[in-house]
Amino acid sequence: ATPTALLVGTGRGAQLGIVIKGPEVLEATRDVDVVLLDKTGTVTEGRMGVVAVHAADGVDEPELVRLAGAVEAGSSHPVAQAVAAYGQARGPLPGVTALREPAGLGVVAEVEGTGAVVVGRADLLASAGLTVDAALAERLAAEQEQGRTAVLVGWGGAARGVVAVADTVKPTSADAIRRLQALGLRPVLLTGDTARTAEAVAAEVGIDQVVADVRPEGKVDAVRRLQAEGHRVAMVGDGVNDAAALAQADLGVAMGTGTDAAIEAADLTLVRGDLRQAADAVRLSRATLRTIR
């Protein structure tokens, strides 16, 4: 490989808005055959807003929103920020203590007058010993089937409501998926959200394969599993919880609109956060390395 051609390739990348860490990255880019795509902030905008609140029978909805908002105010997760902003807009939030945030599951905190309040995935409520009645479980599933991220809110031994948060798919995502497929790459959606939500989003952008319900450390395992099967794996992500998987992948791709942790762990950054540029990078690497051979 002539160093000059590689430098020209990385320079051309920069012009396209693709920052390539070093000339050797082009080789990894060319060889990739599977692309794992993080859902929130990568395929979707990552700007979430509350779109529905369902209070269980006998539960006061403003109270539900207030408690959920108070607990979520202590977390920087995009779901948490949406729920906290929604609560704040409806009145002052009570203070909380003893906040715990099991990564990729939700938040638990003590609220004065109520005790421990849990907001998050069904498995988090279950592990906190809270029951979920059939009506709420049905509400939760119905929201997820629409591609929304829905979380349960519970206290005093039971789930008391569902809060659904929606994010929109980026307008460029479906086109990006088609371009990656046209280059012979297989896209896979990878997320800590539920399979129901992930499948609805995948269908919207034309992805056939989904790996869902993964904890942050499970994203690394997903990369390793594909590598063990002999694949050359690219991972595209934006969050702190994607950093380890970006480092493990044969090619780590960060959204320039994402967190510093993701950008630092990646080999390549898509400056505008436009997923179509992942396909541009593959085309560029193939063209560059062809001129070298």
Q: Ramachandran region of residue 276, left (φ > 0), alpha (ψ -120 to 50) or beta?
A: alpha
Q: From the candidates 38, 167, 193, 274, which is the catalytic residue?
A: 38
Among 79, 93, 205, 226, binds ligand ADP (CB under 6 A): 79
Closest Cα to residue 92, out of 66, 111, 74, 64?
A: 66
Among 41, 106, 252, 273, binds Mg ion (CB under 5 A): 41
- Restricted to residues 139-178, the positions that interact with Mg ion (CB under 5 A) are none
125 CB-near residues (< 8 Å, 6+ apart): 118, 132, 152, 154, 159
Q: Is 38 in the site for Mg ion (CB under 5 A)?
A: yes
Among 144, 149, 248, 257, binds ligand ADP (CB under 6 A): 149
Q: Are strands 96-100 and 106-111 parallel, antiparallel or unpaired?
A: antiparallel
- 274: annotated active-site residue: no
- Total site size for Mg ion, rule CB under 5 A: 5
Residue 199 pairs in a beta bridge with: none
Q: Which two tokens stand for residue 180?
A: 């990656």
Q: Among 3-11, 114-122, 224-232, 271-279, which window interacts with ligand ADP (CB under 6 A)?
A: 114-122
- Restricted to residues 53-72, the positions that interact with ligand ADP (CB under 6 A) are 72
Nearer to ligand ADP, 13 or 78 (CB): 78
**Site of tokens 């934006």:** 238
Could you give the count of Cα atoms lying within 13 Å of 153 in the half-sphere of its Cβ?
Answer: 31
Residues forming the site for ligand ADP (CB under 6 A):
38-40, 72, 75, 77, 79-80, 104-107, 119-121, 149, 151, 191-193, 216, 239, 241
Residues forming the site for Mg ion (CB under 5 A):
38, 40-41, 238-239
